[in-house]
């Protein structure tokens, strides 16, 4: 056999052997067993984990694999997509695979479960309503633009926004088109993730990439008010923070312009706090919590916007860069959680104002976590879904 063919054959056999070994030994896979313990009596317990990404050789040769599918949860199941172009259905209690549905597009939008359906958007712009029991199509709608933000379901209508700033309302059972609203779309660089549509009363509230927050009539799409949140200016003016609404006020954030409080009925700005890259807010009592990838975790006074607390997360780990931080999600009547793409999931005690634990699954977590009851569900960059929970740490017996 000519020397050139022998060399090609040897390289092919080497690649096959490497692929086979990688499929059995994913890199850093065992690091999920190690917890970073913080002072206190609470620690993270791994309830279960399930592999949902079947990687090939090219994926394993990537320096930093990335997964940003977000788990959607029903009473009995967990639904998660991602870059694999597959929607997985897992048993909520055990992680056992109950089914899967292969699509033609990546699934970065969090699946929304309701009324016997699973609603989700895709990278190609096709919006799916799948039957919850068998994951088959009930109906589809082609928006012709990537959908990343989670949809919203309210009184028989499903709402979603595309990456080109088009809000669409469809009948949740039939997929019948009801209305759409378009904002001026910026063709320059924008932040990838959009705010989720939020319904409160008669209005649907939505932030847009051009720095605008709007209140729309939820049944017709007519504009009640729109407010530009670009006072400071900046390269990224996106209002990409899903708003929190309470007591007639709306709280949101613009990536470069900070955190805002608006009158929900009129759109008048009540206050602004200059925090760059602030996340969607979490309102607990009289404190508004936001994360900021450049600065850490903030607690703001809900009436004035004054900074009541600030935690520099990098200082917890000797200045190590933690990457992008997700918005905080309420976990219980004492804790909330958020993810850091460079490490994992943080648990924070908002009563005592201290960090409790950090769960580190090895390859980091790029997707926001999902909380349901006493469990947190998260997809790691290594392609595993984890169900984790806070539990009291086991105290080893003393030696005699």
Per residue in 183-230, pLDDT (tens digit) is: 986 655 455 578 999 999 999 999 998 899 999 999 999 999 999 998
Backbone angles phi, psi at 279, to 5 degrees: -85, 180
Tokens 């060399």 identify what position? 7
pLDDT at site 23 = 38
- Contact indicator for 182, 210 with CB cutoff of 8 Å: no
Residue 294 has pLDDT above 50, yes or no: yes
228: how many CB neighbours lie within 10 A of its CB? 16
Q: What are 223-249's pLDDT values in tens digits? A: 999 999 987 666 667 899 999 999 999
Q: What is the pLDDT of residue 232?
A: 63
pTM assigned to the model: 0.85
Average pLDDT over residues 21-25: 40
> Model confidence at 303, in pLDDT bands (50, 70, 90)?
very high
Whole-angstrom Cα distance, residue 161 to residue 167? 4
- Determine phi and psi for 2, rounding to 5 degrees: -60, 150
Contacts of 197 (CB under 8 A, 6+ apart): 149, 151, 152, 159, 160, 161, 167, 204, 205, 206
- Spatial distance between the Cα atoms of 209 and 239, rounded to a whole number of angstroms: 6
Proportion of the chain above pLDDT 90, given as a percent? 63
Average pLDDT estimate for 162-174: 96
> What is the distance between the alpha carbons of residues 273 and 55, in angstroms, rounded to a whole number?
43
Sketch out the chain's domains with CATH numbers: 44-392 (2.130.10.10)
Give the C-alpha separation, 76 to 93, whole Å: 7
Which are the contacts of 380, defined by CB distance < 8 A and separation ≥ 6? Answer: 32, 67, 344, 361, 362, 363, 364, 365, 386
46 pLDDT higher than 70: yes
SS3 percent helix, strand, coil of the chain, rounded to 5, is 10, 40, 50
- Give the per-residue pLDDT at 27: 38
- Least confident segment among 93-97, 261-265, 282-286, 312-316: 312-316
Q: Of residues 157 and 59, which shows the higher confidence score?
A: 157
CA-to-CA distance for 356 and 346, rounded, in angstroms?
A: 8
Measured CA distances, 388 to 95, 108, 112, 360, 368 (Å): 11, 22, 21, 11, 14
pLDDT band at 41 (very low <50, low <70, confident <90, very high): confident
For position 169, what pLDDT does the model report?
99
């Amino acid at each position: 056999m000519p020397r050139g063919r022998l060399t090609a054959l040897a390289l092919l056999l080497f690649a096959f052997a490497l692929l086979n070994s990688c499929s059995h030994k994913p890199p850093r896979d065992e690091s999920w067993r190690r917890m970073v313990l913080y002072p206190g009596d609470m620690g993270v317990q791994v309830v279960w984990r399930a592999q949902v990404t079947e990687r090939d050789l090219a994926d394993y040769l990537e320096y930093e694999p990335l997964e940003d599918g977000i788990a959607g949860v029903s009473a009995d199941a967990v639904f998660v997509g991602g870059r694999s172009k597959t929607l997985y259905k897992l048993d909520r209690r055990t992680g056992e695979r109950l089914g899967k549905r292969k699509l033609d597009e990546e699934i970065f939008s969090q699946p929304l479960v309701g009324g016997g359906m699973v609603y989700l958007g895709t990278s190609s712009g096709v919006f799916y309503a799948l039957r919850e029991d068998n994951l088959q199509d009930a109906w589809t709608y082609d928006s012709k633009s990537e959908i990343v933000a989670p949809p919203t379901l309210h009184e028989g209508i499903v709402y979603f926004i595309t990456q080109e700033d088009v809000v669409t309302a469809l009948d949740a059972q039939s997929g019948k088109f009801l209305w759409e609203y378009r904002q001026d779309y910026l063709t320059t660089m924008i932040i990838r993730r959009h705010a989720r549509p939020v319904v409160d009363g008669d209005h649907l509230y939505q932030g847009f990439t051009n720095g605008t927050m709007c209140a729309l009539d939820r049944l017709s799409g007519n504009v009640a008010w729109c407010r530009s949140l670009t006072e400071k200016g900046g390269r990224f003016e996106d209002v990409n923070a899903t708003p929190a609404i309470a007591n007639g006020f709306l709280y949101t954030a613009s990536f470069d312009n900070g955190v805002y409080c608006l009158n929900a009925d009129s759109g008048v700005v009540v206050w602004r706090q200059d925090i760059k890259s602030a996340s969607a807010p979490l309102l607990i009592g009289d404190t508004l919590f936001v994360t900021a990838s450049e600065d850490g975790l903030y607690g703001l006074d809900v009436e004035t916007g004054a900074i009541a607390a600030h935690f520099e997360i990098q200082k917890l780990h000797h200045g190590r860069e933690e990457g992008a931080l997700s918005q905080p999600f309420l976990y219980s009547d004492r804790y909330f959680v958020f993810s850091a793409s460079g490490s994992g999931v943080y648990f924070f005690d908002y009563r005592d104002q201290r960090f409790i634990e950090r769960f580190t699954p090895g390859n980091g977590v790029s997707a926001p976590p999902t909380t349901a009851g006493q469990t947190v569900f998260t997809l790691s960059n290594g392609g595993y879904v984890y169900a984790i929970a806070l539990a009291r740490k086991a105290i080893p017996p003393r030696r005699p």
